[in-house]
Structure 1
Amino acid sequence: MALGSTVLMVPVLFMTEAKRQIRLKESQTMPGSSTVSLWDETSEEVYQASPMTADVTTDLAIVGGGYTGLSTALHAAQKGLDACVLEAHQIGYGGSGRNVGLLNAGLWLPPQDVRAKLGGEQGTRLVDLLGDGPNYVMSLIERHQIRCELTRTGTIHAAHSQSGFKDLSRRAEEWVRLGAPVKLLSREEAAEKIGSSAFHGGLLDARAGTINPMGYVRGLARAAQAAGARIHTGAAVTRLTKQTGGWLLETEGGAVAAKAVVLATNAYSDDLWPGLKQSFVPIHYFQVATVPLGARVANILPERQGIWDTGQIMFSLRRDAADRLIIGSMGSVIGGAKGLSERWAARQLKRLFPDLGPVEFEASWHGQIAMTADHLPRIHRLDEGLYTPIGYNGRGIAPGTVFGKAMADLLTGGREADLPMQVTGMRPEAARGLKTGFYQAAFAANQMLKSI
């Protein structure tokens, strides 16, 4: 998943209706649904963690059972630390289980912009690290035999306009200079890869791929547990207190005394640490999946690359292992069966693939992205022995995995100077409330406009 730097301005007349439509339950799932996402049901990986039933003493407590938390636990356990993961709901409940499943390289920003914002040395190190991020994730998938429908055919950043193609050309030029296996696709080449003539070209990144995101996060949990980490679900941390020699984390099932703590809650951060959830702007991203379409989609994404576009309110599209088309965009699911989000999806598929014909939809869901003003992630030192990597801006899979490994390296004798990002203190995102409300209204209005 990725996130543009600006949001499409929408007519004011749509705003009132948009605000009314986005008043959704915080469950983040469709009304009546008991699952997190389609991936919850289709994942071959099945993982059951145990609840908290007694007090625990550990070297490292990790709050959050997503990519960052479980990667931290896996790598820390492999290095000999006793690690304990506390997840309030189920493994992959947050963004990790609701992800689009595009295993992309780098960040949303072009590499030259990352260097400009961070400085040459630090920027180059981050670009190199995350450029190799998909390769590292794939190595973990192979090493631990994680069943997550991995494809290695790349992803395509599709140009929604001529200006979008110009932006992709700039990105391609720099990635090629750095030796990355990327290719700028002409309009005709993009149409062949995607199966639609709606785009002005694209950027194919051979480093990337697609996964079943819930399968991957459950596989990380299985691998972490096999390495010796303890994992508890249904273990919401209600209080975090500093004490002599470390921290005390309280849950309804017991307390955890830990020497160090990693808060790996990202976009699902709550009030456990004061001010943390004010340090980013939450953005919803929704997806709608068709029923399996079989031979009808043989010419759509025939090599199964996932795509996302250069639009200011971007959308994504992929074809899963069962030949479903899964289309998504910024915003929340609005309505259930035959609701606004399904009408939006039907209209977009008709626009992209006019020969496809009517389709039925099987599932809809949405999740949250933690967006920062400069579209760069953060690593905050909140207190002695208390860290949080946060703000992936829609690039959770590879950065979450890599940042988790980096946290484990730090807490087993590494240096803060070797982390992917310079460690900073936490500060609130300016005008967070106003931005959140505007984005939600704009995204809902976008669904209405594009459903007509």
Structure 2
Amino acid sequence: MLGNDRSHGLWEKTAPPPAACIPLVGPVRTDVAIIGGGYTGLSAALHLAEAGVDATVLEAVEPGFGGAGRNVGLVNAGMWIMPDQLPALLGPLHGERLLDLLGDGPAQVFALVERHGIDCEAVRQGTLHCAVGRQGLAEIRQRHEQWARRGAPVRLLDAEETRARTGSAAYSGALLDARAGTIQPLAYARGLARAALAAGARIFTDSPVIDAQAQGGQWKLSTGWGSLMADRVIVATDAYGSGPWSQLRAEQVHLPYFNIATTPLPAAIRQTILPGREGAWDTKQVLSSFRLDRAGRMVLGSVGALRGTGAAIHRAWARRALHRMFPQIGAIGFEAEWYGQIGMTTDNLPRFHRFAGNVISFSGYNGRGIAPGTVFGKLAAGLMLGTLSDGDLPLPPSPLTRPPLARAQEAFYEAGAQIVHAVSARW
């Protein structure tokens, strides 16, 4: 997008075309304004429109431009941190509510896909959290115990079954989560946009909000060519935000993440790698993820940015890593490469903010945007409809904070990933 083939890569090449939308021009009025056309904003617009509310999305570029259109496409349950940490950090009431909500998140995503006929390569075959060495095995065992205690359909696999399911001998075990799966993430975002439009929502593209003014209990949101007057506002910009509520970006540390896709694997080779079509990622600190798309391309991802010296370093690492993990692939070409930013909060938990009585936001998904974005968008719609109150939420309202030395941390992550990938997968 915007002339950059490293922004959305394979997903832009294979997604259905975006719905026809235009920029906001002139004065417009709406009941609920939604800033941001990612999963949260589009889910909120869809649920509001289905309830008969006039909902209008203002998107700076086009739906799915931010993290929603760049990620790996793993539809996971829960957060990165261990399940028991949520009640420990949020308290038992909010923590267990959040676990229940996010545990059911993938089911809500796949239900929307089915109900609206969204063509996004949805595969609900689970995900594999692959253990690297003893430490990784201890981690997935702990995660298994905590989810199983709550009745989640998770299962520990030994090294032999992990090899059979992944096609790689690199792992000492894996945690299979049957709730999860994979999608084509940009196609899902575009499908949500179409569903929201069909339900009666409006979406204005190329319409970044540059100013917001409270006027008599309402909000006037100004773009370069028009203005939107709204009774209520949902800010759904998350890690890609700018403008009046850019504090949401400022309270997160950006972690760069890239993906590289091969050309389609030969059919015989494809049968030996992820034959069950699960999505997978590992327990390394500088983690890697891998999955197949509908055409049989291997999509390999890891921490890092494909810019400057990082482009060559990460590309070379990807070739070595593929050869080490899946020697049966042999020599194969790369078809696409792209990267984006993951917004990380200080405690790796999402945030609910109430900026004013009629302005709210959900953000901070920490690399788990698909299911959380979808379900938090639905919650945001419930708050706007009055069917939910703050007391019903799985998150308490929190003040805006700034992580210490955030930009220094971002530079460290980007440089550190280059160092790790420059030396790893060489033996």
What TM-score bracket applies, with the shorter chain setting the length?
over 0.9
Distance 1:339 1:182, change over 3 A: same
Cα contact 1:240–1:272 (8 A) shared by 2: yes
- Which shifted more, 378-387 or 162-171? 378-387
Q: Does residue 126 of the first structure (1) align with residue 90 of the second (2)?
A: no
Q: Secondary structure at the match of 2:281?
A: strand
Corresponding residue of 2:110: 138
Give the aligned residue type for 1:104: N
Q: CA deviation at 1:109?
A: 1.4
Q: CA deviation at 1:337?
A: 12
Distance 1:45 1:138, change over 3 A: farther
Q: Secondary structure at the match of 1:350?
A: helix
Q: Please, which of 286, 293, 296 is the counterpart of residue 323 of structure 1?
A: 296
Q: CA deviation at 1:141?
A: 0.6
1:378 and 1:188 map into 2 onto residues whose CA distance is: 40
Corresponding residue of 2:143: 171
1:32 and 1:89 map into 2 onto residues whose CA distance is: 13
1:383 and 1:344 map into 2 onto residues whose CA distance is: 47
Q: Does residue 371 of the first structure (1) align with residue 344 of the second (2)?
A: yes
2:414 and 2:54 map into 1 onto residues whose CA distance is: 41
Corresponding residue of 2:391: 417
2:307 and 2:318 map into 1 onto residues whose CA distance is: 12
Aligned residue runs from structure 1 range 265-414, under 5 A: 265-273=237-245, 275-295=247-267, 296-334=269-307, 339-413=312-386, 414=388
Q: Does residue 219 of the first structure (1) align with residue 191 of the second (2)?
A: yes
1:199 and 1:225 map into 2 onto residues whose CA distance is: 45
Corresponding residue of 1:87: 59
Corresponding residue of 2:417: 443
Cα contact 1:342–1:361 (8 A) shared by 2: no
Cα contact 2:221–2:227 (8 A) shared by 1: yes
- Which shifted more, 432-441 or 62-71? 432-441
Cα contact 2:23–2:204 (8 A) shared by 1: yes
Cα contact 1:318–1:325 (8 A) shared by 2: yes
Corresponding residue of 2:37: 65
Corresponding residue of 1:5: none
Q: Secondary structure at the match of 2:11?
A: helix
Cα contact 1:60–1:258 (8 A) shared by 2: yes
1:278 and 1:118 map into 2 onto residues whose CA distance is: 22
Aligned residue runs from structure 1 range 99-248, under 5 A: 99-248=71-220
2:121 and 2:324 map into 1 onto residues whose CA distance is: 28
Aligned residue runs from structure 1 range 3-18, under 5 A: none
Q: Secondary structure at the match of 1:121?
A: helix
Q: Cα deviations across residues 311-339 of structure 1 (Å, max 9, x unaligned)?
A: 11111000111010000101111469983
Q: Secondary structure at the match of 2:415?
A: helix
Q: CA deviation at 1:45?
A: 5.7
Q: Which runs of 5+ in 2 are unaligned?
A: none
1:184 and 1:335 map into 2 onto residues whose CA distance is: 40
Q: Please, which of 13, 17, 21 is the counterpart of residue 49 of structure 1?
A: 21
Report the RMSD for the aligned CA atoms in angstroms.
1.8
Distance 1:32 1:79, change over 3 A: closer
Give the aligned residue type for 2:72: V
Give the aligned residue type for 1:110: M
Q: CA deviation at 1:432?
A: 1.2
Q: Does residue 429 of the first structure (1) align with residue 411 of the second (2)?
A: no
Give the aligned residue type for 2:217: G
Distance 1:388 1:337, change over 3 A: closer
Q: Cα deviations across residues 134-189 of structure 1 (Å, max 9, x unaligned)?
A: 00111111110111111111000001121111111011112112111110010111
1:168 and 1:312 map into 2 onto residues whose CA distance is: 14
Corresponding residue of 2:236: 264
Give the aligned residue type for 1:52: L
Cα contact 1:159–1:309 (8 A) shared by 2: yes
Cα contact 2:5–2:338 (8 A) shared by 1: no
Q: CA deviation at 1:50?
A: 2.0
Give the aligned residue type for 1:111: P
Cα contact 1:406–1:420 (8 A) shared by 2: no
1:94 and 1:164 map into 2 onto residues whose CA distance is: 31
Distance 1:189 1:131, change over 3 A: same
1:328 and 1:35 map into 2 onto residues whose CA distance is: 14
1:122 and 1:292 map into 2 onto residues whose CA distance is: 44
Cα contact 2:314–2:418 (8 A) shared by 1: no
Give the aligned residue type for 1:418: D
Give the aligned residue type for 1:233: T
Give the aligned residue type for 2:103: G
1:140 and 1:196 map into 2 onto residues whose CA distance is: 33
Distance 1:326 1:261, change over 3 A: same
Distance 1:451 1:239, change over 3 A: farther
Q: Secondary structure at the match of 1:88?
A: coil
- Which shifted more, 332-341 or 38-47? 332-341
Give the aligned residue type for 1:136: Q
Give the aligned residue type for 1:78: E
Q: Which runs of 5+ in 1 are unaligned?
A: 1-26
The TM-score normalised by the length of structure 2 is: 0.96
Corresponding residue of 1:8: none
Cα contact 1:410–1:419 (8 A) shared by 2: no
Q: Cα deviations across residues 191-237 of structure 1 (Å, max 9, x unaligned)?
A: 11000010010000011010001111111101111111100111111
2:48 and 2:21 map into 1 onto residues whose CA distance is: 18
Cα contact 2:33–2:234 (8 A) shared by 1: yes
Give the aligned residue type for 1:369: I
The TM-score normalised by the length of structure 1 is: 0.90
